[in-house]
Chain A
Amino acid sequence: MMKPSPFTVRGRHALLIMRDEREISIVRRQFNRLGMTVTETDPDQPIDPKLAADVIVLDADSISIKSDATSAKANVPVIALIGTETPSRLKWLLELRPASFLIKPLRSAGLYTALVVAFDCAQRRSEESARIEKLEDRIRSRRIVFAAVLRLMHSHALSEEDAFNLIRQTAMRHRTTIELLSAEIIALGGMPNRGSRTA
């Protein structure tokens, strides 16, 4: 699948959680120029859960720090509009993990950069979380690999290093992962006996 470039913003949809009319019109005009569509929501209104947005533009000053503004859209990148730089406000903002931000007063300049940074940040975050999930899977199956290595050490009288190499090479030949082959070794009580390719 082709990854969407963060520089291509045409066709993306933005949810504007903002109140100030002048600021809304600046964002709407600039996003429309870039070929994006927008939906506007007042900061006091709940977010429509059916609404699919690619990015959220959030006026941080308009929301009470005791509320959770974007929990309904956990994976959508947030561009925060900041007027108040007090630490109490910024701490609340950090909880939202903004993908990028702009300092008020808003101008049309800067909005494209904020979008590109937000889309790039969202892309990187999703790649990172996929990678972390894969690594966590590996960690979870380490016990199984270790058990398979032990079994081969006993049954084939191998050193630990040789037993692991045997599993690794067999997994490569069978075009499977070390973890899956280890699970098979434990299930069968030894190295599975089959041709050079797995089914």
Chain B
Amino acid sequence: MTKPSIPLGLVFSGSGPYAMMGREMEKSALMAIDEVNQSEEFDFTLTPHLRDPGGIVPAYHEACDDLIRNRKVEHIVGCYTSASRKQVIPIVERTERLLWHPARYEGFESSENVIYVGAAPNHTVVPLVRHMLEHVASDVFCVGSNYVWTWETNRVLREIVSSAGGRILAERLLGLGETVVDHIVKEIIGRKPPAILNTLVGESSYVFMRALHEASVRAGISIPTLSCSLCEPELKMIGSSASIGCIASSAYFESIDSLENRNFVARWKDRHGAGSHVSVDGQSTYVCVMLLARAIRRAGSADVVAVRRAAANYRYDSPQGPVWVDPDNNHCFLTPRLARSVPGCQFRIFWESEAPERPDPYLSNLDLAAIGAKLDKTADAVGRRPNYLRVVK
């Protein structure tokens, strides 16, 4: 007996300025769909309908409109940038569909018609800045791409750092896709800041990391560099020596040591080659499809209202650990982690949250005074040891 088929829209830009991430996410979605379709645990199959907006913002609206009208999809997995998501939200809200959004983003949004599977700012930037203040430096040089992710990440950084008595030494912005970085590298080498926060995206970031590494080696210095978006496939793009030693914040690293993740990575490499790497956004796209399939199964239908209700608080033991949707804001409980990049395009995880953290897209629960207090220089070494940190081997 053939199982009933449920149409599913996939909207990723496999061409255009962030094509690499789009392709990684699409590959993961298709892998998850194949697994669902082959599994006896599901009494239905998912039929993917792929659309490639080519990184052109208005094309996202057209792609979703077509999927909803002509392919009758109730659910769409897709979008990478906030600009594209903002294009899709009006149409999914008007037609009461659900967008499953895999990418981390800057927060300050909560649509009834989006399930935010990527990390909220309390999962990424907040742990990274805490770590920086407690273990690296209180003064930081910021370099980033000139768009909303950088602006908002730097704003959160500035609030936390200044409440702890530190300083933002500079905020240098490059246009999206810009690869002329020499003036910024020169300034960094000249000023020798104790830490750098890199919120550049794509090619700008790879060129910057290579140029900074080269100049640092020549000058005989080494400046800790922090990022909340760096992932394994990007380490490969940057190149072996320049990509080592970065501190990254993410809810997923390929090196997570759990049965679910080891199996997931093995299946990924079987499918895409031993030399390929899973990215946080790829893994998150896989989680999107799995959360959706499990919610459809639980609801007994693909109906949006029923699926949203079924997904709420329904725990899934994913490659990144337990994940579930918080029905208060449609974002996910995720486990924040910090890691350092090591040879072999890998990250060595040195901290993870003890339990999945409630998503806080508006950072309403960010307690600046508590972070500042922890840094009180008069406290003794034991007192200063942050009690929310748990060292993992």
Contacts and interface: CB of A to CB of B under 8 A. Distances in A.
Interface residues of B, number: 20
Contact of A88 (B61, B83, B90, B152): B152
Interface stretch (B10-18, B29-37, B106-114, B345-353): B106-114
B154 interface: yes
B86 A87 contact: no
Contact of B151 (A21, A86, A105): A86
B90 A87 contact: no
B86 A65 contact: no
B329 interface: no
A104 B151 contact: no
B228 to A, nearest CB: 15
A169 to B, nearest CB: 58
Interface in B73-118: 82-83, 86, 89-90, 93, 106-109
Contacts of B106: 86
A191 to B, nearest CB: 60
Given A20-B58, A66-B173, A89 B151 contact: yes
B155 interface: yes
B146 A88 contact: no
B306 interface: no
Contacts of B56: none
Nearest to A106: B90
A84 B82 contact: yes
Interface size band for A: 10 to 19
A87 B152 contact: yes
B148 interface: yes
Contacts of A25: none
B22 to A, nearest CB: 21
A105 B92 CA distance: 12
Given A20-B58, A21-B58, A85 B90 contact: no
Contacts of B108: 84-87
Interface in A23-58: none
B155 A87 contact: yes
Interface string B144-166: 00111001101100000000000
A91 B159 CA distance: 13
Nearest to B110: A85
A62 to B, nearest CB: 10
A83 B58 CA distance: 15
Nearest to B86: A83
Contacts of A91: 155
A86 B90 contact: no
B162 to A, nearest CB: 14
Interface of A: 20-22, 61, 64-66, 83-89, 91, 104-105
Given A87-B152, A87-B155, A105-B90, 13 more contacts: A22-B58, A64-B146, A66-B146, A66-B173, A83-B86, A84-B86, A86-B106, A86-B107, A86-B108, A86-B148, A86-B152, A104-B90, A105-B89
Those 7 A-B pairs whose CB atoms lie nearest each other, nearest first: A105-B90, A88-B151, A88-B155, A86-B152, A86-B108, A85-B108, A88-B152
30 contacts: A21-B58, A22-B58, A22-B61, A64-B146, A64-B147, A65-B151, A84-B86, A84-B108, A84-B148, A85-B108, A85-B109, A86-B106, A86-B107, A86-B151, A86-B152, A86-B155, A87-B108, A87-B152, A87-B155, A88-B151, A88-B152, A88-B154, A88-B155, A89-B148, A89-B151, A89-B152, A91-B155, A104-B86, A105-B90, A105-B93
